[in-house]
A and B are shown apart, each in its own frame.
Chain A
Amino acid sequence: MRQRILAIVGAIALVVVALVVRGIVTGSDGASGTSDAKPIVACTSDLMAVCQALADSGDIAANPPTLDLARAAIATVDNRPLDGWITWDPAPGIANLDAEAGGKTRPWSTAQALGTSPLGIATLIGIQPVLPSGCSLSPVVWDCIARAAVEEQTPVGIGTGTTAGSLARLYPLAQALVPKGGDFRDIAAADLKAIIDSPNVAQADFPNQAKTLVTQRGALDILVGPSAGLNALRGTRTAVAGGTAEAVNATVVLVSRDGANIGSVAKAATSDTTAQALRGTGVVPGTGRLAPEGRAGELYAVRDKVDS
């Protein structure tokens, strides 16, 4: 009897040892990998085409999950630890701040840019957006766009102000609202909310708002987004893209969960299919650099005010 018990204990010990060894070999904690150890990489919903391209080429695990700021402070989806996240800069920094605020360790390490585009605006031919006195649309002055939404209730498509993509688009408008001598924490929450509430239809991510601009005339007077994406909307009647006087970029980044090795994903992101998917999100692949370190803190404050 005693021998049998020892045999069972021994077998269990062997299984445990095998799992530990496997974890070391795959470079993960043993919980995230699939049998072929492909990294699990999530995308924000508006960048899912990029993840799908990587999954289709076998560079990341199949069925990539969606992840946005609301759940990014814990780098897991459905209890599956993530290896990486493709999102808009500086969302990983904001998620790290969220984690710290919750007494947890920062989940995300340094990001790298996959593509970027300066932010611009699109309008509809035949609809003259109401702008504050002294403002015009060419060249675009972000202060004018912000005040058009706040003071004139001009419907501006900017997203919900709580997602990675939306915060990247909102940044130049928020910056324009910073009072003299103050910082982002001093922006009037009511002004930020007025921008978010300016359209009579719900705010949405950039791809959906680009569609709304064109197909639901009257819903949006101004759409803010990556210029490369806006240019795709240019048409004879429907939309034009305007350049901006003060360049602010929206940048897609790949970030690894702290300790995970996703070097192969970064390399795969330069492939033709992934580059095409990146172009579809409105950025120019293979370009861009990260925003200054303080940007995450600034947009953290902005999101808090929108949410308040």
Chain B
Amino acid sequence: MHIRTTAVRLTALVLAAGLVTASCGSGGGTNANQDGLGDPGDCTVIDMAVSSEKIDLMTALAKSFNGSDDAKLGDGCAFVRPFSKASGGATELLATGWPETGEGERPVIWSPAASSWGQILNQRLADDGQSALVGDAVSFQLTPLVIAMPKPMADALGYPAKPVGWADIAKLSTSKEGWAAYGHPEWGAFKLGKTNPNFSTSGLSALIGQTYAAAGKTRGLSQEDLDNPKVTAFAKNVESSVVHYGDITMNFLNNWFRTDRDGTSLLYASAVAVEEKSVIDYNKGNPDGILKPGETPRKPRVPLVAIYPKEGTLYSDSPLYVLNADWVTATEEKAAKQFIDFVQRPSAQKKVLEYGFRPGNPDVTIGAPISKANGVDPDQPSTLLQVPAPPVLLSMLQKWREQRKGARVLLVLDVSGSMKEAADPKNPSGPTKLDLAKKAAIEALGEFKSDDQVGLRIFTTGLGSNQDADFQDLLKVQPMSANREGLASKIRDQFPQNATPLYAVTGDAFGDMVTQYDPTKINAVVLLTDGKNDDGDSSDDRQQLTSLLEKLRRGTDGENAKSVRVFPIAYGSDADLNTLTEIAEATNAAAYDASNPATITKVFTAVVSNF
């Protein structure tokens, strides 16, 4: 009973975390991607929620299907309309009946990144006494988890002649010599990028892979294995080299790609756990796999190599579920099945291959772009790992919370006058923007472990006894075991005040964190602001920003840099997301979009997923 309760709680955690991903601007967003799909007219519309990495492919397939003979449905027609929804977020929404809260239309077809999400959904529903929403599904495409590594580094390790796996990553992670042991002191220490396994399919697959490697198994991972001190030590070794976590792999890939331009990509990260498809996209010059209008692919100066871990790996299998939901009509079900038949045909499967996925139809032979020219090997992987039993999986996630690299974070909270505005302009007497921000910040504190170090700084003009300070440190950065209650209390006490000296405060916060840098932790500033820089003198704003960006980049670049990441949250519609993105990128971090104040809790939790 206890195990079951714990499992349910952990499942809920996984799912709640996944929900956050759904709301983040840069990743599994909720925006319907209907570009070019046109008007469905009188056709039966099949809304389809798909994980973000395949939204472009599914849109292309829908375009081919809609209006074709394959879409004829009796006297009518079917019209497929895909939209991007992160797997975890969709799981949570489906488990709660997909409330109509602007999260996209209720889908007829659901295609998460991996079928494990379908199992989690059914388990969650069963725990609530409800019937299953998904049954057997067609896996129409696959992509294995790999360790992406810049080619010069893979060459230095002797890959592929010498197999490389998680054991090598663990060894490199704790090597005092770092890359000097391989003749490249200029690359500094080994740095690993991994997404948070509570949010991301890649992160979860990587965690399973490294745990099997630690246990020396490829199957039958048990609770005893997880409790083995050697397995724990292995995990801590791997985690010790992590640059930061996060909710989506594309943050790593975008940062890698941007630093590639100025030749510093080898210093940002040595390896990142991603899906094979991402390596292909990156090497083709499209790091996030989504070409925006006007965006032209540019091949990187330093390509990536996909390392298939020698201990084995897992596939993301992209199941296509027709939901057994009460909102799905018999006609919609029939139309959905027609589309699913369509995407399995060789012509559609060739398109799957074009987009860098492995076809699910064995009649379509794997070929370009899955080729060594793009850094991947169609003859790999050689070993597939067994997905652990759900209780073991949940226990693994629980243990990861303690094994992950610790964090040292300064929360910098904007308490300027504009934060007193109503969060929802249609409800002027409702909560203010600051009310919601405080609630979100307090809730996010629960995600920090007790030895994470967190401090609180507020900023606005006119602070202090002389009313001349731009910020105030309310709690210094110290372990959460001592700070947790105080942080919540101090955040709760805040009220809106004056102007927004954004640039000066960001620079100071960054500088202070660099001064106190702790190499054993992820060092970061979380900056929440609802506005643009406003320090009373707009004439020098551009110069201030330039100086700030230079300062941030100087602190971040170089093999001996003290990497402090700045994660800004653009809060409310007036926040300057573009500038905040520049600030984030200058420190190889990511900016988060909470332009809709109602999403701030989800976004705050997503930001904290980086630690």
- Interface residues as binary, B219-241 with A (CB distance below 8 Å gives 1, 0 otherwise): 10000000000000000000000
Residues of chain A lying within 8 A (CB to CB) of residue B219: 197, 200
Chain B facing A: main interface SS: loop
Q: Is there a chain A Cβ closer than 8 Å to B498's Cβ? A: no
B130-173 interface bits toward A, Cβ cutoff 8 Å, 1 = contact, 0 = none: 00000000010010100000000000000000000000000000
Per the 8 Å Cβ criterion, residues 223-255 of A in contact with B are: 233, 235-238
Majority SS at the chain A contact face: loop
Q: Quick check: B382 and A237 within 8 Å, CB to CB?
A: no
Query: Is A215 part of the contact surface with B, judged by Cβ < 8 Å?
Result: yes
1/0 per residue, CB under 8 A from B, across A32-55: the answer is 000000000000000000000000
Are the CB atoms of B360 and A217 closer together than 8 Å?
Answer: no
Which single member of A127, A155, A199, A210 contacts B362 (CB below 8 Å)?
A: A210
CB neighbours of B35 from chain A (8 A) = none
Decide: A211 near B362, CB < 8 A? Known: A200-B218, A218-B312.
yes
Closest to A128 in B: B382
Judged by a CB distance under 8 angstroms, whether A301 is at the interface is: no
Min Cβ gap B25→A in Å is 34
| B303-317 with Cβ < 8 A to chain A | 312-313, 315, 317
B381 at the interface (CB under 8 A from A): yes
Give complex CA distance A238, B386 in Å: 22
Residues of B within 8 A of A218 (CB): 144, 312-313, 380-384
Contacts of B144 in A (CB 8 A): 218
Instruction: Count chain A CB atoms within 10 A of each CB in B358, B360, B366, B385 and give the residue with the most.
Output: B366
Q: Is B216 part of the binding interface, using a Cβ–Cβ cutoff of 8 Å?
A: no
Counting CB contacts under 8 A, is B263 at the interface? no
**B365 close to A217 (CB less than 8 A):** no
Judging by beta carbons under 8 Å apart, are A217 and B362 in contact? no
**Does A138 sit at the interface, judged by CB under 8 A?**
no
Say yes or no: A215 contacts B358, CB within 8 Å: yes
Q: Please, how many residues of chain A have a CB less than 8 angstroms from a CB on the other chain?
A: 22
Query: Is A268 an interface residue, CB under 8 A from the partner?
Result: no
The answer to whether A216 has its CB under 8 Å from any CB of chain B is yes
- For residue B100, CB closer than 8 A to chain A, the reply is no
Q: Is B431 engaged at the interface, CB distance under 8 Å to the other chain? A: no
A230 to chain B, nearest CB (A): 12
Q: Which residues of B contact A214 (CB under 8 A)?
A: 362
A99 CB → nearest B CB, Å:
30
Q: Which of A200, A236, A237 is within 8 Å of B386, CB to CB?
A: A200
Closest Cβ–Cβ distance, residue B407 to chain A (whole Å): 34
Q: How far is the CB of A125 from chain B (nearest CB, A)?
A: 8
Is A219 in the interface zone, CB < 8 Å from B?
yes
Chain B residue contacts of A101, Cβ below 8 A: none
Distance to closest chain B CB from A108 (angstroms): 29
The answer to whether B537 has its CB under 8 Å from any CB of chain A is: no
Q: Out of B362, B379, B386, which one reaches A215, CB within 8 Å?
A: B362
Contact residues in B for A233 (Cβ distance below 8 Å): 362
CB distance from B232 to the nearest CB of A (A): 23
**A281 CA / B379 CA spacing, docked (Å):** 27
Say whether, besides A200-B219, A216-B315, A238 and B382 are in contact (CB < 8 Å).
no
Complex: A235 Cα to B380 Cα, angstroms: 16
Of chain A, the residue at the smallest CB distance from B386 is A200
Tell me whether A201 is interfacial, beta carbon within 8 Å. Answer: yes
Complex-state Cα separation, A217 to B380, whole angstroms: 7
User: Top 4 A-B pairs ranked by shortest CB distance?
Assistant: A200-B386, A214-B362, A126-B379, A218-B384
Chain A interface (Cβ < 8 Å from any Cβ of B) = 125-127, 153, 155, 197, 199-201, 210-211, 214-219, 233, 235-238
What are 18 A-to-B residue pairs whose CB atoms are below 8 Å?
A126-B379, A127-B379, A155-B384, A200-B218, A200-B312, A200-B383, A201-B384, A201-B386, A210-B362, A215-B142, A215-B358, A215-B361, A216-B315, A217-B378, A218-B144, A218-B382, A218-B383, A235-B365
